[in-house]
A and B are shown apart, each in its own frame.
Chain A
Amino acid sequence: MRAHLLVLAPLAAAAAPVDFAHEVVPVLRKHCAECHTGEKKKGGLSMNTLAELLEGGENGPVLVPGKPDESKLVTVVVAPADSEERMPPKGKGLDAREADLLRRWVAEGAPWTPGFAFKAPAYEPPLRPRRPALPEAVEGRTHAVDRVLDAWLRARRQPIPAAADDSAFLRRAHLDLIGVLPTAEEARAFLADASPDKRDRLVRSLLVRNVDYADHWMTFWNDLLRNDYAGTGYIDGGRRQITRWLHRSLLENRPYDRMVRELVNPVPGSEGFAQGIIWRGSVSVAQGRELQYSQSVSQVLLGINMKCASCHDSFTDRWKLRDAYGLAAIFGEKPLELVRCDVPTGRAAVAAWPFPELGQVDPAAPRAERLRQLADLMVHPDNGRLRRTVANRIWHRLMGRGLVHPVDAMETPPWSEELLDVLANRLADNGHDLRDLIAFIATSQAYKSRAEVLAPSAAEAAAYVYRGPRARRLTAEQFVDALWRLTDTAPQKFDAELDPPAAAASAPRLAAKAIWSDDTPAGALPAAGESRVLRRVFPLSKPPSRALATVTCDNAFELVVNGRSVGRGGEWWEPRILDLTPHLRVGSNEIRLLARNGGEGPNAAAAWLQAHLRFPGGETMSLATDAGWEWSPRGEPGAAWRPVRVLDDTAVWERGERALAEQLAQLQGFPRLAARASLVKADLLQRSLGRPNREQVVSERPNDLSTLEAIDLSNGPALAGILAQGARNLLARDWKSPGEMVDWIWLSALCRPPTATERRIAIGLLGEQPGEQSVADLVWSVLMLPEFATVR
């Protein structure tokens, strides 16, 4: 058929060939569908498929491709209205243009879009919530998710997936829930923990790390809400970011129904989603603001594709032009005219949302009221579609494949309707708490099972069979965050405009005193460029699970713990939070501040540090600059140490001390110690790893590594530069042996110790005296392992 057309096409250049999808289908749908499609077969004739149409009806064939005069389909529609054979039997029938279109289409050989069918959709997803009865728990697997899945597997005689090992679970949970890998210390502690409930405890402990959670899930929501977009349409300042609103919503774990309300009916800060992208020049109405709103709201929140219906009644599902325009008209400030394939129809769009069975927007109401009504309907308790859509997205993120897949096509049957209902109900029943839903999934045995080993046939198979979570490639952001942490190369500053961290209700009092050496004569000030080493020696009887310090100095400092540099700072009013955990040890510890006064003449100088140490049992310890600190001009071995001077009048540093106190509040949680990849603009490395420019909604990123990406990873200057710096940073740490470094890299990158063989290969690569090149090459080799590059 296609080949036939191809030959014809150049000849027919004068009159463009008839377009089946856009011209013929609407005519057949309008005049014939009622009696001849779906279940209906009046006169034995069905038009569902080309094959059925060619088969004809009770009175023989109706369509002879290429021969309109022999095709009843063409002749009966122009028969006199009162004649027996005229079709359709009632009503005005086809007009001359429509009849001519049919004739030309048949003359051109009746081309039919392959796979197209008029059938009514076989599956209509339920709208209202449903409460399926849970199957009996077996073998003590009582989690609702497992009760449903175990029964599903039993019914299909499929084995229950084996449990994942601790390392795999630890790594998966970290990457899925907060997007960063555990430190080597955290990994060691988890692997050594023998308590049976440690996996559930881990899930809960990760989800309370507000900042880490919010930073990580920004990637998911930015993709979905087209936020952090810098492309076309921005040239005229046409689109507002919703970063601040989004990050705060995640940080505070705002209920999902509230987020939906604020996206549909915007509040200050969330307008960017609803307003969409303003394009320059003249743009198809189907891409105007109103239709963008219709498309974004329906795709993101309801899993409905309104893109087809924005131009014409959809050929693939039940949505019609008037549905797409109905949502658009709710948002529109002015009345909208229905435009079909860029041709105005003369009909006005009527504000409406797609599920009138739950109530309808009043088209006569003012815009603000219409938006409020839409928001009400969207979060209506009976709108199960809203909860199912987001629950499916979360399941997809954690388990690697949607219950409905692809996740934007919610009209597709889920492979387990019961499970989708269980998840949607969990969300609705628990205050629309997204973190609770994540915890709910992550504490199931299903989430704790071993990732499916994917056979090539299974990867593309149409019918999905659940065999455990599916491995996913790390997102660009996860990869870069892991790389930065492993090599200690994360930048301090980031691009995203976030609210400053909320001040704690009761900020802890700053215990740190301003200290400096005691050798400045009374009435004088320290000299410009004066350097002082300030230190504190203290014992620890056990290693802390986490030790953070807030530090600053007028004018600059380097913090050295047990001989290893931990970090530097330069602006006294911008204290830094530094992680001391990996540098502390059982026995005697020394913290040194290499402090330096700036300026051009004598001026005030001081340094502050306050550390908060937490131990596995839950005990805490605090350590702050005070009279117990000592100083020395250079701090060389054998140097004499004298007590520091505590400066009483700190009024000039009020701003710095306030900032220290604010950071102190964060030390007890999990503050952001450096930038996260999701908060910086996409650079070449992140782009190369698949971070999209979000011109369209992105609900799934490519899972495969492309050759060009592999080339970038093999020789790209960005990664090579980070690896070189990272190798220097790693070499600056205190390793007893190359083997110790290898163990640390494996634990930090893969959450497991190396096997004997791996250890041997890695030590061989490092050589006796590990150098910058060999360390960089080892780290590269580990980063390229599929085990590293996937969440599994």
Chain B
Amino acid sequence: MNPLPLDPSLPAPLARREFLRLLGAAGLATLALPAPRLRAEPAAKPAHPPARADACILVWLAGGMAAPETFDPKRYAPYEKGLPYSKLLSTFPSIPTAVDGLRFCQGLESIASVMDRGAIIRSAVQPDLGNILHSRHQYHWHTGYVPPQTVHCPHIGAWMAKVLGPRNPVMPAFVNVGQRLEGVGESEELKAFTTAGFFGGEFGPMNLPYPDQAAAAVRPPKGMDAGRFASREREFRRLVDASPDRERLSDHHQQSMLRAMDNAHRLLSAKERASFDLSLEDADSRRAYGDSRFAQGCLLARRLVEAGTRFVEVTTEYVPFLHWDTHGKGHETVARMHREIDRPIAQLILDLESRGMLDRTLVIVASEFSRDAMIEGRVGSTAGDQSHHRGATIEHPDHYGLHRHFTGGTSVLLFGGGVRRGLIHGATAEERPLVATRDPVSVEDLHATIFTAMGISPKTAYDIEGRPFYATIDGKGVAAPILR
């Protein structure tokens, strides 16, 4: 692998050649790769399926997106004072999509128009974890393991970074866009799965909570111009070179540290860092996505994947009781969320397609569970009711919506890389309880589908504390038949 050209707008670090010579034994080929992380070694060498996609974008509708309000419309009941909750399945009428027999909720016209490029799983199910806690289900969804666990589980993005490595050695393999991890509720819980876990930090996410500020993450620090940044690096390398302990220059630990510094500097001075800067995107293209934070996140995801990132998660953001987490005012909030996601997601698909990237990019649109107007958890669950409105009838517009968490059946959209087009997989009941009635797809099976599309066997395992740890729990996930 050749080192990538440096950004011509930055002065070349003069001592670079010298610095690389010091890293000597490692050689240029390995220099392009991240430091080895051999704490966990494959326990099994599974035969990986052929990769149908090279990159993956997970569009995460955090907070519990109600399927009957979005991609799986049921009988519509307009608002009326005194409407019994038992009669409420959907608060939006349905609209046709580009696929015969597939209908969405009103407000999602743009996504509806691109459904011929993808498939929908209508029967994704989640386990009953007792009292609903979003972050527990999110942990499960993102790692494949129900928390708590006795080992630190890696995020699926970290699995891809670990097993597949970076597509472009300059770019971070795993980027997480749009989720703040500080200063929001349940932030420790979010951090618990936004991690490479026992794979080690090299495979963890680069977090970019604000897409419009992403460029700063790969720029020299605030107040430092390119010239000063380059000269600081140059002087640092001269000091490394001048180190009096000559023997230690070959030390493995020291080299691995310097390699990480070199990787960092390479990204911070490579042309690829332009991919983080949304201001460089053509104005028409920016307009096509829209200017909300989520829309910018979708655009950033496309730019990062184009530059060589392996896995990007982009989210509407989880903040307890905000966005999709509707414990009240459900209809009003979801109508806003429709507006927030409809154009950006559709544009992401069209944009990838027009750039010839869709065939090799897997896009997933998912949430931790669905919602229902009556049932908390699933039928028969003892989970505590968390709705703000507990009467039997709807007495105020604020009551109109699906305010309880539902784990018995929800929808997942998949587009691009290897996904059969126009496919509808599974179904949910037409009357409450709206459970999956055909071809249920568990989190494990969904992960097996995603991993298989990416060319990773769901049985891939790494040794941790002397036991195998699988990409899908005990290697048991089975890919849903939605891949080509």
Contacts and interface: CB of A to CB of B under 8 A. Distances in A.
Interface of A: 2-3, 5-6, 9-10, 13, 16-17, 19, 21-22, 113-115, 230-235, 277, 279-284, 286-287, 295, 305, 307-308, 310, 315-317, 408-409, 453-456, 458-460, 471, 473, 684, 690, 693, 695-696, 702-711, 713-717, 719-720, 724, 755, 757-758, 761-762, 764-765, 773, 777-778, 780-782, 784-787, 789-790, 792
B253 A471 contact: yes
Given A2-B47, A235-B189, A281-B133, A705 B236 contact: no
Interface residues of B, number: 92
A279 B140 CA distance: 14
B264 A703 contact: no
Interface string B231-253: 11001101110111101101111
17 contacts: A10-B481, A17-B476, A230-B188, A231-B189, A280-B131, A281-B131, A281-B136, A310-B150, A455-B252, A706-B35, A707-B172, A707-B267, A710-B260, A710-B264, A761-B238, A761-B242, A764-B235
A161 to B, nearest CB: 13
A724 B188 CA distance: 30
A720 B146 CA distance: 38
Contacts of B3: none
B385 to A, nearest CB: 14
Closest 3 CB pairs of A and B: A282-B130, A706-B201, A710-B264
Given A232-B147, A716-B221, A780-B232, A707 B202 contact: yes
B131 A690 contact: no
Given A5-B459, A711-B267, A717-B221, A706 B202 contact: yes
B375 to A, nearest CB: 16
Q: Which of B139, B152, B216, B238 has the most CB of A within 10 A?
A: B238
B484 interface: no
A715 to B, nearest CB: 5
Contacts of A777: 228, 231-232, 235
Nearest to A705: B260
Given A6-B47, A232-B188, 7 more contacts: A233-B148, A235-B189, A282-B130, A693-B191, A704-B35, A705-B256, A714-B268
Contacts of A792: 248
A710 B152 contact: no
Nearest to B148: A287
B172 A695 contact: no
Given A316-B466, A684-B182, A277 B133 contact: no
A711 B465 contact: no
A230 B182 CA distance: 13
A13 B449 CA distance: 14
A113 B148 contact: no
Nearest to B265: A714
A456 B192 contact: no
A6 B191 CA distance: 33
Contacts of B132: 281
A132 B152 CA distance: 39
A704 B202 contact: yes
Contacts of B43: 113-115
Nearest to A19: B474
A784 B133 contact: no
Contacts of B459: 2, 5-6
Nearest to A10: B478
B261 interface: yes
Interface in B375-412: 383
B260 A709 contact: yes
Contacts of B131: 280-282
A305 B466 contact: yes
Given A113-B468, A784-B236, A281 B130 contact: yes
Interface in B69-94: none
B50 interface: no
Given A114-B44, A281-B133, A693-B191, A704 B257 contact: yes
Contacts of B184: none
B268 A693 contact: no
B328 interface: no
Contact of A231 (B46, B49, B188, B222): B188
B30 to A, nearest CB: 10
A286 B223 CA distance: 52
Nearest to B49: A6
B263 interface: yes
Nearest to A229: B188
A9 B478 contact: yes
Contact of A706 (B151, B204, B220, B265): B204
B365 interface: no
B221 A705 contact: no
Given A704-B257, A705-B261, A761-B239, A232 B202 contact: no
A703 B204 CA distance: 16
B239 A781 contact: yes
Nearest to B25: A456
A231 B191 CA distance: 8
Contacts of A315: 467
B457 interface: yes
B16 to A, nearest CB: 15
B37 interface: yes
A740 B261 CA distance: 28
A706 B174 CA distance: 13
Q: Which of A234, A283, A459, A705 has the most CB of B within 10 A?
A: A705
B215 to A, nearest CB: 11
Contacts of A460: 38
Nearest to A114: B44
A755 B242 contact: yes
Interface in B114-145: 128-133, 135-136, 139
Nearest to B258: A786
Contact of B264 (A471, A707, A719): A707
B479 interface: yes
Given A706-B260, A710-B263, A693 B192 contact: yes
Interface string B27-50: 000000011011100011111010
A715 B467 contact: no
Nearest to A310: B150
B4 interface: no
Contact of A715 (B25, B136, B202, B220): B220
Contacts of A282: 128-131
A704 B186 CA distance: 29
